[in-house]
Amino acid sequence: METATENERKYDVPAGFELPPLIGAGGVRELGAAEVHELDATYFDTDDLRLARNKRTLRRRTGGGDAGWHLKTPADGSSRTEHRLPLTDGDDVPAELVAEVRTIVRTRPLRPVARLRTHRVETPLRDEQGRTLALVAQDRVGAETGGTEQNWQELEVELVDGGPEVLDAVEGLLRAAGATPAAGPSKLARALGDRLAEPRRRRRKVNPVLRYAREQREAVEEQDQGVRAGDPEAVHKMRVATRRLRSTLKTFKASFDPQRSAALRDELKWLADCLGDVRDGQVLEGKLLADTSGFPEVADGIRAHLDAQVERGRAVLTEALDSDRYLAMLDAMDALVDDPEPDDAGALRRARKALVKADRLLDEALAGGVDAELHEARKAYKQARYAVEIFAPSAGKPGKRLVKALTGLQDVLGAHQDSVVAREVLREVARAAPDGFGYGVLWARQEQVGVRTRAGLPPVVAASRKKRLRSWLG
């Protein structure tokens, strides 16, 4: 599948609009011979137009120089990414393109929703070396949707080898001649018209717990393609979003339907575990390999062990993302956060309660000196920090500083837990090694990391418990 980035601007033009002189605009020295194309495009979407509502267009088009299947997705700024496949017979959307939009359409079928026929006059704008800086397309469009027909004219200017200054210069001349920036983002949006309009809802204040939950839902969906592509940062961000949402559902039970919330928490844990099998190996490999100077064979053994772990995790994660279970989980997220129980009374009190519980678990862990108890305290602080994050913006500086202090405490607890896990990995890899000396040295170093992190806890604990940072919690 080919991909390309489009950088173009669209304009509405009145009937009979004529292209003004463009020579001199942004380095344009001549206009190439105009070419005429007859384009016939059928657009596909779900019955509820999930692609169009998410700023995606999927079409099968004949005519012109790029006939085929096209999927356009948002990119940076005004540009868009276009995924292209050759023409196929019939209206079955190619599996490669279905995979690109699977998290949006879920299990809903893709059907034709509009047909657009376009008479296009395309004029290249060239510089003094003969390079095509941009293409100007003057379009007469006929659209058929749901038994209705529409006709209009519009104009597009698409960059080829030119820079944004070309678009700016050409735009000035076009607007002076009567063109106006397009009212809609695409031909399809204009053709669909009122079908794309969101139903009017009674405006009401969205409580911060619900807003936070929706942000995590969106983060999970936004990272999907990056995770599939193997981007470590996307894996990390999706994992954090699943943890935050799961923690929110647990801490603020009264804000959500209890049965659906409990079921979704289980599914979020399943996804987080799949992501963790990949992410934990990536993080641990970086930490351990940074401490293997002087022990190249040990480094090779650790790398092979953790690389194998990550690869196994990727296979499981890919299978999970391609499963109907994952799609059902996305649907469950939508249903829960878009139709929640409205009661959020006492939510701030529940955030405070989560923080007090984390304090208690940490005090008990420090008194007992058991690593597993420190890990439980770390998880409790993570849950408490997520809860505090929800209300911190309304608390001003004290809220911001409390989140920062809790993050610092959590980082120290995390570094300690990493040292515990690192020692377990070293012990496991050393069992199959012919010489365990190097592993023993690294094990001792990680043990010292654990000692140092425990010693570093009192000041960060004290910083997180300052009354002036917590007073706003009540």
Per-residue pLDDT tens digits for 159-208: 999 999 999 999 999 999 999 999 888 899 999 988 887 665 555 667 89
pLDDT value of residue 122: 96
| pLDDT at residue 343, rounded to an integer | 63
Dist. CA 71–CA 48, nearest whole Å: 18
The whole-chain average pLDDT of the chain stands at 92
**What percentage of the chain has pLDDT greater than the value 70?**
97
> Taking a C-beta distance cutoff of 8 angstroms, is the pair 217, 333 a contact?
yes
Average pLDDT over residues 329-353: 86
Average pLDDT over residues 55-62: 95
User: Greatest CA separation found in the chain?
Assistant: 84
pLDDT of residue 306: 94
Answer yes or no: are the C-beta atoms of 330 and 238 closer than 8 Å.
Answer: no
What per-residue string of b and e applies to 181-191 under the rule 16 or more CB within 10 Å gives b? ebeebbbbbbb
What is the arithmetic mean of pLDDT over 118-133? Answer: 96
**Single-letter residue type at 432:** A
Report the sign of the C-alpha dihedral through residues 337, 73, 48, 95, in that order: negative
pLDDT tens digit string along 348-388?
A: 999 999 999 999 999 999 999 889 999 999 999 999 999 99
Residue in 83, 86, 149 with CA at minimum distance from that of residue 114: 149
At residue 41, what are phi and psi to the nearest 5 degrees?
-125, 130
Q: What is the mean pLDDT of residues 5-21?
A: 92
Write out pLDDT tens, residues 61-82. Answer: 999 888 999 999 987 666 789 9
Handedness of CA 392, 396, 400, 402 (dihedral sign): negative
Classify strands 35-45 and 30-31 as parallel, antiparallel or unpaired: unpaired
Work out the average pLDDT over 108-133: 96
Q: List Cβ<8 Å contacts ≥24 apart for 311-314.
A: 312/277, 313/274, 313/276, 313/277, 313/278, 313/281, 314/230, 314/278
Determine the Cα–Cα distance for residues 405 and 419; give it in Å rounded to an integer.
22
227-236: which pairs have CB atoms within 8 A and are 24 or more residues apart?
A: 227/275, 227/317, 227/321, 228/318, 228/321, 230/314, 232/279, 232/282, 235/275, 235/278, 235/279, 235/282, 235/317, 236/279
Q: What is the pLDDT of residue 76?
A: 67
- Region 435-457 average pLDDT: 93
Note the pTM of the prediction, 2 decimals: 0.83
CA separation (Å) from 437 to 281, 289, 443? Answer: 23, 16, 10
Long-range CB contacts for residues 89-98, cutoff 8 Å, separation at least 24: 91/42, 91/44, 91/60, 93/44, 93/58, 93/69, 94/69, 96/1, 97/1, 97/58, 97/69, 97/71
Task: Give me the residue label for tokens 């941009």.
Answer: 134
- The residues, any chain, with a CB within 8 Å of residue 292's CB and separated by 6 or more, are 298, 299, 302, 438, 442
- 254: how many CB neighbours lie within 10 A of its CB? 16
The Cα 166–Cα 162 span in angstroms is 6
Decide: 152 and 224 in contact? Cβ < 8 Å. Answer: no
Confidence of residue 451 (pLDDT cuts 50, 70, 90): very high
